[in-house]
Amino acid sequence: MPNLKEVRNRISSVNSTRQITSAMKLVSAAKLRRAQDAVTKMRPYAEKLQFIMSNVAQSLEGAESPYLVERELKSVTVVLVTSNRGLCGAFNTQVLRRATALLNGELAELHKTGKVQFVCIGKKATAWVLRSGYTLQASHDELYNHLSFSESVKIAESLMAEYRQGNTDKIVFLYNRFLTAASQQVIEETFLPLSPDVQAQEVSTEYIYEPGKAEIIENMIPLTLKTQLFKVVLDSHAAEHGARMTAMHKATDNAGELLKALKLSYNKARQAAITNEILEIVAGAEALNG
């Protein structure tokens, strides 16, 4: 039979943990509402802009924009988007697992020669890259401190400059796309080079350019790319809070079940102790009477 003091200590410990997980669940739920509103408002604009850009790209040549030039793959940059903190279930693990599969799959040859570098957004991604001994090109963990379009633009511009200067031949995003509070989907998305979308090709549209094609393209492509990166970060941010809220909800429920089991164990142990004391008193009384 377990010691009463030990059981009381465990009950106190589990109860404290349950209060913490319950509070974290409420905080994540509040943050999720704001993050979900941001990404649902951003998605239609970003997707429509990307659709138009894919459509326009059909009539463009590589000479008209450096972001349309497809080169032989000699170097690839993988942008890993994770969270800065844990306690969010498999949110970070599934992105890192996909990154590992990518390195062992289609990027295996480049990875062996050290031609795959990582740009990390989120401390969990940065720690994983450094721990694994991979090439870390840049880390932008501070983005979540002041998440805004203006801050994400700086990252987009640095990635665009790397591609424009020929330092990398392809840039790929790996991140969690927000579906619902309880579910996320790991997405592998090509950032550069830009290429025509199959869906856009099926509904091809002729555009009239004003003031001119060159001016429009010069501004439209960078805007599309910057918007794409911001959408990715917002998606991951909302998915993170959804995953954390779900994880804390499950943790709170599990703590509640454990508390019931511990209290039952405590009551049994207490009842057994009381029974033993009664038996000792009765035995002592009988011994005196005898």
Contacts of 77 (CB under 8 A, 6+ apart): 116, 117, 118, 119, 137, 159, 162, 168, 170, 171, 172
Query: Helix (H, G, I), strand (E, B), or coil: what is residue 90?
Result: coil
Burial (0-12, 13-18, 19+ Cβ within 10 Å), 113? exposed
Between helix 213-289 and helix 4-57 the angle, nearest 10°, is 170
Query: Helix (H, G, I), strand (E, B), or coil: what is residue 169?
Result: coil
Cα gap 251→126, rounded to integer Å: 27
Between helix 149-164 and helix 213-289 the angle, nearest 10°, is 120
Cα gap 147→193, rounded to integer Å: 26
- Token representation of residue 87: 């306690």
Cα gap 181→184, rounded to integer Å: 8
Cα gap 120→95, rounded to integer Å: 12
The catalytic residues are: 88
Cα gap 193→183, rounded to integer Å: 30
Other CB atoms closer than 10 Å to residue 162's CB: what's the count?
19
